[in-house]
Structure 1
Amino acid sequence: MSRRCELTGKGPMTGNNVSHANNKTRRRFLPNLNDVSLMSEALGRPVKLRISAAALRTVDHRGGIDAFFAKSKDEELSARALKVKKEIAKAQAPAA
């Protein structure tokens, strides 16, 4: 399982640990990933995703997973999230 957010594409970054003596050793900054189930109103079922805490706040800010997918770009999404986005778009098409 990769350490990459399925909605934003946020992944590990690299940097340095810097000691008091100013010694530098390489380190990794890992994203704060959480396994969440977000309820999709269009599908009527929860969607399980592995997303960062920042992405979870963005989903809440935009008004749910359906609204998030409506505004998101396909390049940022994982293959699993892209599949869910297409399912939601298909479910919303007859209603609109």
Structure 2
Amino acid sequence: MSRRCELSGKGVQSGHLVSHSNHKTKRRFLPNLVNVTLISDTLKRAVGLRVSAHALRSVEHRGGLDAFLAKARPDDLSPKALELKRQIAKAQAEAKAS
């Protein structure tokens, strides 16, 4: 399982651990990933995703999973999230048509 957020695309970064003597050694900065269950209002079901704490705050700020996915860029989303975005768009289009 990769260390990448399924909604924001945030991944591992690299940098230096700097000692008091200014000696630099390589280190990794891991994203704060959390397994969460988010509810889609349009699909009326729960979806399990592995997202960063930052993305979870963004989902709440934008008004839920459906609104977040509607605004999200496709290149940031995982294949699972892309499929979810397509399903939500299809369900919203069918609801609007009827």
**Under TM normalisation by the shorter chain, which class is it?**
over 0.9
Q: Which amino acid aligns with 2:88?
A: I
**Alignment length (residue pairs):** 96
Amino acid corresponding to residue 61 of structure 2 in structure 1: H
Alpha-carbon distance between aligned partners in 2 of 1:71 and 1:14, rounded to the nearest angstrom = 29
- SS for the counterpart of 1:83 is helix
CA distance in 1, matches of 2:72, 2:46: 19
CA distance in 2, matches of 1:79, 1:87: 12
Q: Which runs of 5+ in 1 are unaligned?
A: none
Secondary structure in 1 matching 2:95 = coil
Bigger helix fraction: 2
Aligned to 1:62: 62
1:48 and 1:86 map into 2 onto residues whose CA distance is 16
**1:18-69 alpha-carbon deviations (Å, 9 max, x no partner):** 1111111000000000000000000100111100000000000000000001
1:57-95 CA-to-partner distances (Å, cap 9, x unmatched) read: 000000000000111111110101001111111111121
Say what the alpha-carbon RMSD is for the aligned residues.
0.6
Q: Which amino acid aligns with 2:15?
A: G
Structure 1 runs, 4 residues or longer, greater than 6 Å off: none
Give the partner amino acid of 1:7. Answer: L
**What TM-score do the two structures reach when normalised by structure 2?**
0.95
Q: In percent, how many aligned pairs have the same letter?
A: 61
